[in-house]
């Protein structure tokens, strides 16, 4: 079968088409014919060798996978060939304290597809039944692949870690990001909060308003802190992934007793923070990574109810050049929503 693998760390030219044996499903596994795989910034960091652990090459990227059941292994009775499915973006041990508590994203063996273990830039993938979810009817494979990792991240950060309330005002950084575009919808359509968000280009403003944001700040033209102070006073909660570039202003934009939920540090992790604003104004800095696999059931229900919709920026073919182009596109920052590779 065809696969587009990383053969080293580096620029997009380390992505090469290779031939791999077609896997067969083991006991309790499902063989999925991949129809679409969505990119995440994680793909870029992994390709550049920036995720903090090493890989054996060739390594297969791709965390967000939608496809069709090709074959089921022994003991799998509730799925059959032809069923349309989406995969959970990460695996865990299933037996440790955290897994047993349902907090599998705190499992010491938590493995994200495409980062810690091989992912979805392949024609076929065999995976345990528990990681396979039925695709919501009416979604295309491309749309379905645009959901799992970003939605889990947004849901965990806003609902579980952030405890966002309908009476609150939230600042969501980067409405055009995979997580941001879903976070705006969850904050607005699921919770009913007031939503301020940021973009870095004028063409993204209208799209962010269309997702439901109440106020969109182009941070290259307007000062985030000044706009918030002038129009809102301060915000109750911030959802941030930008890291060192904005953190000082974001802390100042947060109200006394407010909280900042952080799920990344895109612009750099070596930040300077005035700690007086943390303890004296009692601001909480909360870390969040991925989310509970069980929350995917709720996420699919929210998609089915029309409360959150996948936001797809662009679709590329599953060829060596197509995958490289998809990486270049995401790297350019000129995207609103997800970049997806389609096998159809």
Residue 8: C-alpha distances to residues 11, 46, 56, 242 (Å): 9, 10, 9, 27
Distance of alpha carbon 135 from alpha carbon 157, whole angstroms = 23
In three-state secondary structure terms, 74 is coil
Rank residues 92 and 169 by Cβ distance to Zn ion and give the closer one.
92
Mask for 192-221, x = binds Zn ion (CB under 5 A): ------------------------------
Question: What is the size of the binding site for Zn ion (CB under 5 A)?
Answer: 5
Determine the interface stretch with Zn ion among 10-18, 59-67, 103-111, 329-337 (rule: CB under 5 A).
103-111
Q: Report in angstroms how near the CB of residue 117 gets to Zn ion at its nearest.
A: 14
Residue labelled with tokens 């006394």: 256
Distance of alpha carbon 185 from alpha carbon 208, whole angstroms = 10
Distance of alpha carbon 197 from alpha carbon 218, whole angstroms = 9
Q: Is 93 in the site for Zn ion (CB under 5 A)?
A: yes
Options 31, 85, 99, 227; binder of Zn ion; rule CB under 5 A? 99
Determine the interface stretch with Zn ion among 14-22, 88-96, 142-150, 283-291 (rule: CB under 5 A).
88-96
Q: Report in angstroms how near the CB of residue 244 gets to Zn ion at its nearest.
A: 32
Listed in sequence order, the residues at least 6 apart from 183 whose beta carbon sits closer than 8 Å to its beta carbon are 154, 157, 158, 172, 239
- 103: its two tokens: 């907090």
Q: Is 96 in the site for Zn ion (CB under 5 A)?
A: yes
Q: Is 107 in the site for Zn ion (CB under 5 A)?
A: yes
Q: Report in angstroms how near the CB of residue 108 gets to Zn ion at its nearest.
A: 6
Residues that bind Zn ion (CB under 5 A): 92-93, 96, 99, 107
């Amino acid at each position: 079968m065809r696969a587009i693998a990383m053969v080293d760390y580096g620029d997009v030219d380390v992505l090469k088409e290779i031939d791999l044996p077609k896997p067969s499903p083991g006991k309790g596994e499902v063989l999925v014919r991949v129809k679409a795989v969505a990119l995440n910034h994680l793909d870029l960091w992994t390709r550049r060798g920036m995720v903090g652990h090493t890989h054996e090459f060739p390594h297969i990227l791709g965390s967000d996978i939608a496809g069709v059941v090709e074959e089921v292994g022994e003991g799998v009775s509730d799925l059959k060939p032809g069923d349309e499915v989406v995969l959970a973006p990460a695996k865990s041990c299933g037996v440790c304290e955290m897994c047993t508590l349902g907090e599998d994203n705190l499992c010491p063996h938590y493995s994200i597809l495409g980062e810690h273990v091989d992912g979805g830039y392949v024609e076929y993938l065999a995976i345990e039944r528990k990681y396979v979810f039925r695709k919501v009817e009416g979604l295309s494979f491309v749309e379905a692949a645009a959901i799992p990792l970003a939605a889990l991240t947004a849901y965990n950060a806003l609902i579980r870690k952030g405890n966002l309330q309908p009476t609150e005002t939230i600042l969501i950084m980067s409405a055009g990001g995979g997580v941001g575009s879903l976070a705006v919808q969850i904050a607005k359509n699921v919770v009913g909060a007031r939503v301020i968000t940021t973009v870095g280009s004028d063409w993204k403003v209208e799209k962010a308003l269309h997702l439901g944001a109440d106020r969109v700040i182009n941070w290259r033209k307007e000062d985030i802190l000044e706009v918030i102070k002038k129009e809102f006073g301060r915000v109750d909660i911030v959802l941030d992934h930008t890291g060192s570039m904005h953190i000082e202003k974001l802390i100042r934009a947060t109200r006394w007793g407010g909280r900042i939920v952080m799920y990344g540090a895109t612009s750099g992790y070596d930040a300077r923070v005035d700690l007086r604003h943390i303890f004296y104004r009692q601001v909480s800095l909360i870390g969040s990574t991925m989310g509970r696999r069980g929350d995917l059931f709720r996420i699919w229900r929210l998609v089915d109810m029309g409360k959150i919709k996948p936001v797809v920026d662009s679709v590329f073919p599953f060829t060596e050049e197509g995958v490289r182009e998809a990486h270049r596109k995401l790297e350019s920052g000129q995207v609103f929503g997800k970049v997806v590779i389609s096998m159809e």
